[in-house]
Chains A and B, each alone.
Chain A
């Protein structure tokens, strides 16, 4: 390997209602697999994947969170230190789309990103393979503009455009990473206990 420092680690968080397909999207992207069986995620699942972005080798740490209500009441320490947040909804469920606003706000509060107005959000509409669509492309894009997010849609089942949102998340995350690492050189973090995930502990 040419990279002596070891790859940069980027933390990407997947959030959204239960059943929208967060785990499916991640499983499709990382393992190239899909299952129709639904098993709600328990807590958080963590997978990593090394990719190349514009010449930089980065390790994507993908955090697939549980959308079920039980875990919402437990607080979400894992949001902190994220470089990019992926908001996932199901295009056949209006409710899952409407819920994104709440998920985003929750993320900003719990995740405490340094520059909330500039934090990168990727919005992903999943299950485009289904015909009973409830959320139009236009509506989704409109909301994305409001929150200054970027919109993608696809299908984990049909393996349609699953890679693009992750690559974009990695790019935006990398920008975020560089911006804050440069800003922070010479400074010590004064904000309360910084969780360890900001360190690049991944030894893959």
Chain B
């Protein structure tokens, strides 16, 4: 495995990855009413909406005049919480311009934008996230994520329904457009205990609203993941095509039934250290057994088979790739998310198009997804470039199974799945509670199971957000650090980064700084001793 993304070669693009446009045009009339981009409600601005736009203009005016202001936009009014403002509120807004100009600019812009207020109700909302978006409960969620189109149309919200939030999203878009009109980009708004981060990835705009102490950079990274999730469902080519064709398109129609993938990815971002570390973790397995599994998988090849991935839950058992083709960790996490979220029959086989955006945003791969045995955690994903390859992939799986089931390694693998993690006690450092170790060259990380003190979901999320803080400090854009040591009431933390690895350790609060640093060497020694079990040392290619 390799951390670097690799562009698809020219022959690939022209050869086997069928361009979406062609696929679309091959289709005849649609079986679903409304598939052909059709009936849309009127595009006029309602009075209702003008109120928000004016509110918004007011806020921007204050910021533009360089006053200290803090704000939080919500659906029915805005709050001017002038108390603890940050200097850099709307830092990208050029404060040289006069207030009148700002207001005028905004009006002109809004008129052009033609933000669509009304909503077609043809989308039956099957999600169980009906939540009153004007309630305190909705507002006090730790982290909101919104996705909208450049026309200000809601595409996704983590909490509540998109319909109820269309005005809010309209305002968000107005903010983005307003700043853009000045040839600037809005990055974030820092307000009272709350942070709004924007990511514009034409034709989408992503907005994160957080009450946590996450850095802008961390939030942006999460928004990027959400962006790639959406691209992986549709391809960027299709997204661009749709919005060039119809600026006002309601993308929720195409995403209907897939929202849970985004929901689940957001949960992963809070719980899975792999997404923080840009790495994946492996199932601990004796290297001799892993090698047999890998070579059995390698032997079951097929012309258009590019990646074969064997997973045990969220852990990688092995990955075989075509020579010179690399799988980016983001793409791999998207595959994990797809497998983890889909409840397709364990007895059967699934076949689905998937775009791996870090590999190529233009085309779809086709993934064959099946479990080795109905009750097993072991899931095999075979990624082909050919949409008609289902039976070839099915044969590959069959061949792999025939080979593997004859070997004792299969038994060893099944045993390993039963204890997919290890206890930190194995390391033999009494004060050490937990750690994350990422090997940079392989893009793999290892981590013990959470100890008793961090059993609950809340505690695990808390620990992860502490790691995230350390991560932010080590990777600070202007002042990166090599070490970071922090004492807290509940635990002491140490982080270290070198050219070869990244390490995050969590100790009991009683540990001394000296012994914490001494523990690093001991841990590194232990990892070196265990590495052929914890990592994939000899990845194979076709």
Task: Give A residues with C-beta under 8 Å from B.
Answer: 15, 17-19, 27, 30-31, 37-48, 66, 68-75, 77-78, 95, 98-99, 102-106, 109-110, 195-197, 199, 201, 203
Q: 8 Å CB contacts to A: which residues of B228-283? A: 233-234, 238, 253-258, 260
Establish whether residues B388 and A195, one from each chain, have CB atoms under 8 Å apart when the complex forms.
Answer: yes
Contact partners of A46 in chain B: CB under 8 A: 348-351, 390, 394
| Size class of the contact patch on chain B | 35 or more
Establish whether residues A72 and B350, one from each chain, have CB atoms under 8 Å apart when the complex forms.
Answer: no
Q: Mark B342-367 against chain A: 1 for CB-CB distance below 8 A, else 0.
A: 11110111111100000000001001
Contact partners of B35 in chain A: CB under 8 A: 69, 72-73
Contact partners of A195 in chain B: CB under 8 A: 388, 391
Establish whether residues B348 and A201, one from each chain, have CB atoms under 8 Å apart when the complex forms.
Answer: no
Q: B24-32, B463-471, B498-506: which one contacts chain A?
A: B24-32
Establish whether residues B32 and A69, one from each chain, have CB atoms under 8 Å apart when the complex forms.
Answer: yes
| 19 examples of A-B residue contacts, CB within 8 angstroms | A15-B31, A18-B257, A27-B345, A31-B347, A44-B350, A45-B345, A47-B348, A48-B348, A68-B256, A70-B234, A70-B255, A73-B23, A75-B24, A78-B390, A99-B32, A104-B31, A105-B29, A106-B31, A197-B391
Contact partners of A110 in chain B: CB under 8 A: 27-28
Establish whether residues B352 and A43, one from each chain, have CB atoms under 8 Å apart when the complex forms.
Answer: yes
Whether a CB of chain A sits under 8 angstroms from the CB of B33 is yes
Establish whether residues B33 and A47, one from each chain, have CB atoms under 8 Å apart when the complex forms.
Answer: no
Contact partners of A102 in chain B: CB under 8 A: 29-33
Q: How far is the CB of A67 from chain B (nearest CB, A)?
A: 8
Q: 8 Å CB contacts to A: which residues of B305-343? A: 338, 342-343
Q: How far is the CA of A46 from the CA of B344 in the complex (A)?
A: 9
Contact partners of B342 in chain A: CB under 8 A: 39, 42
Q: How far is the CA of A70 from the CA of B388 in the complex (A)?
A: 18
A40 to B, closest residue via Cβ = B257
Q: 8 Å CB contacts to A: which residues of B371-416? A: 387-388, 390-392, 394-395, 398
Q: How far is the CA of A70 from the CA of B253 in the complex (A)?
A: 8
Establish whether residues B256 and A69, one from each chain, have CB atoms under 8 Å apart when the complex forms.
Answer: yes
Whether a CB of chain A sits under 8 angstroms from the CB of B126 is yes
Residue from A40, A73, A104, A199 having most chain B Cβ neighbours under 10 A = A73
Which of B254, B387, B390 contacts A73, CB < 8 Å?
A: B254
B123 to A, closest residue via Cβ = A69
A38 to B, closest residue via Cβ = B126
Establish whether residues B27 and A203, one from each chain, have CB atoms under 8 Å apart when the complex forms.
Answer: no
Which of A15, A74, A78 contacts B23, CB < 8 Å?
A: A74
Contact partners of A78 in chain B: CB under 8 A: 351, 390
Q: How far is the CA of A27 from the CA of B343 in the complex (A)?
A: 12
Establish whether residues B350 and A45, one from each chain, have CB atoms under 8 Å apart when the complex forms.
Answer: yes
Establish whether residues B23 and A75, one from each chain, have CB atoms under 8 Å apart when the complex forms.
Answer: yes
Q: How far is the CB of B233 from chain A (nearest CB, A)?
A: 6
Contact partners of A71 in chain B: CB under 8 A: 353
Q: How far is the CA of A73 from the CA of B18 in the complex (A)?
A: 13
Contact partners of B353 in chain A: CB under 8 A: 43, 71, 74
Q: A30-B347, A70-B258 are in contact. List 14 more A-B contacts (CB 8 A).
A: A31-B347, A39-B342, A47-B347, A68-B257, A69-B253, A70-B255, A71-B353, A72-B30, A72-B31, A77-B388, A106-B31, A197-B390, A201-B394, A201-B395
Contact partners of A201 in chain B: CB under 8 A: 391, 394-395
Once A73-B24, A75-B27 are accepted as A-B contacts, the answer to whether A196 and B388 lie under 8 Å apart by CB is yes
Q: How far is the CB of B398 from chain A (nearest CB, A)?
A: 6
Contact partners of B238 in chain A: CB under 8 A: 73
Q: How far is the CA of A98 from the CA of B35 in the complex (A)?
A: 14
Which of B27, B33, B255, B392 contacts A99, CB < 8 Å?
A: B33
Q: How far is the CB of A199 from chain B (nearest CB, A)?
A: 8
Establish whether residues A18 and B352, one from each chain, have CB atoms under 8 Å apart when the complex forms.
Answer: no
Establish whether residues A42 and B348, one from each chain, have CB atoms under 8 Å apart when the complex forms.
Answer: no
Q: 8 Å CB contacts to A: which residues of B12-50? A: 23-24, 26-35
Once A99-B31, A102-B29, A105-B28 are accepted as A-B contacts, the answer to whether A77 and B387 lie under 8 Å apart by CB is yes
Q: How far is the CB of A27 from chain B (nearest CB, A)?
A: 7
Contact partners of B345 in chain A: CB under 8 A: 27, 30-31, 45, 47
A204 to B, closest residue via Cβ = B398
Q: How far is the CA of A47 from the CA of B345 in the complex (A)?
A: 8
Establish whether residues B257 and A66, one from each chain, have CB atoms under 8 Å apart when the complex forms.
Answer: yes
A106 to B, closest residue via Cβ = B31
Residue from A15, A41, A105 having most chain B Cβ neighbours under 10 A = A41
Residue from B233, B388, B390 having most chain A Cβ neighbours under 10 A = B390
Q: How far is the CB of B130 from chain A (nearest CB, A)?
A: 15
A65 to B, closest residue via Cβ = B351
Q: How far is the CA of A105 from the CA of B32 in the complex (A)?
A: 11
Establish whether residues B31 and A105, one from each chain, have CB atoms under 8 Å apart when the complex forms.
Answer: yes
Establish whether residues B364 and A203, one from each chain, have CB atoms under 8 Å apart when the complex forms.
Answer: no
Q: How far is the CB of A69 from chain B (nearest CB, A)?
A: 5
Q: How far is the CA of A77 from the CA of B23 in the complex (A)?
A: 11
Contact partners of B31 in chain A: CB under 8 A: 15, 72, 99, 102-106
A196 to B, closest residue via Cβ = B391
Q: How far is the CB of B120 from chain A (nearest CB, A)?
A: 13
A27 to B, closest residue via Cβ = B345
Q: How far is the CB of A145 from chain B (nearest CB, A)?
A: 21
Once A70-B254, A75-B26 are accepted as A-B contacts, the answer to whether A43 and B351 lie under 8 Å apart by CB is yes
Q: How far is the CA of A104 from the CA of B30 in the complex (A)?
A: 10
Q: How far is the CA of A66 from the CA of B342 in the complex (A)?
A: 12
Establish whether residues B26 and A68, one from each chain, have CB atoms under 8 Å apart when the complex forms.
Answer: no
Once A31-B345, A102-B32 are accepted as A-B contacts, the answer to whether A42 and B390 lie under 8 Å apart by CB is no
Establish whether residues A68 and B258, one from each chain, have CB atoms under 8 Å apart when the complex forms.
Answer: yes
Q: How far is the CA of A82 from the CA of B33 in the complex (A)?
A: 25
A30 to B, closest residue via Cβ = B347
